[in-house]
Copies of this chain bind each other. A is one copy, B any other.
Amino acid sequence: MEGKTRDALRLRRVAIDTYKENVAYLHRDCQVYRSEGFQALSKVEISGEAGGQSVLAVLNVVDDASITDPGQLGLSQEAFQQLGLAEGAAATVAHAKPPTSLHAVHRKIAGERLSYADYEAITRDIVQHRYAKIEMAAFLVACSETGIERDEVLHLTRAMATGGEQLDWREPLVADKHCIGGIPGNRTSMLVVPIVAAHGMFIPKTSSRAITSPAGTADTMEVLARVELPPDQLHEIVRTQRGCLAWGGTARLAPVDDILISVERPLSLDSPGQLVASILAKKLAAGATHLLIDIPMGPTAKVRSQADALRLRKLFEFVGDRVGLQLEVVITDGQQPIGRGIGPVLEARDVMQVLENDPEQPRDLREKALQLAGRILEFDPDVRGGRGYTLARDILESGRALEKMRAIIDAQGAGDIARKVGGLCNTIHAERDGSIAAIDNQQMARIARLAGAPMDKGAGVDLYKKIGDKVRRSEPLYAIHAEFAADFAFACELAAHNSGFALTP
Q: Which residues of A line the B interface, CB within 8 A?
A: 1, 4-6, 14-21, 23, 25, 28, 34-35, 37, 39-43, 60-64, 66-67, 76-77, 98, 102, 106, 109-111, 132-138, 140-142, 144-146, 262-263, 266-269, 449, 452, 455, 484-487
Contact = CB atoms under 8 A, between A and B. Distances in A.
Nearest to A103: B268
B266 A19 contact: no
Contact of A17 (B62, B137, B455): B62
Nearest to A5: B486
A267 B35 CA distance: 23
10 contacts: A4-B484, A14-B64, A16-B61, A16-B67, A17-B60, A17-B63, A41-B262, A42-B266, A111-B146, A138-B141
Given A141-B109, A142-B141, A28 B17 contact: yes
A485 B37 contact: no
B267 A15 contact: no
- Copies of this protein in the complex: 2
A110 B63 contact: no
A268 B106 contact: yes
Contacts of A16: 25, 60-64, 67
B43 A266 contact: yes
Contacts of A1: 484-485
Interface centre among A111, A140, A142 (most CB of B within 10 A): A142
Given A35-B484, A133-B134, 18 more contacts: A4-B484, A5-B486, A6-B486, A14-B67, A15-B63, A15-B64, A16-B63, A18-B40, A19-B40, A19-B60, A20-B41, A41-B266, A110-B145, A133-B133, A134-B266, A135-B137, A137-B141, A138-B141
A6 B486 CA distance: 7
A110 B273 CA distance: 13
A183 B36 CA distance: 22
B268 A98 contact: yes
A77 B63 CA distance: 9
A14 to B, nearest CB: 8
Contacts of A485: 1, 4
Interface centre among A16, A20, A23, A66 (most CB of B within 10 A): A16
A287 B16 CA distance: 45
A134 to B, nearest CB: 4
A484 B32 CA distance: 12
A20 to B, nearest CB: 7
Contacts of A62: 15-17
A452 B269 CA distance: 42
B138 A269 contact: yes
A455 B20 CA distance: 33
A110 B146 contact: yes
A40 B77 CA distance: 12
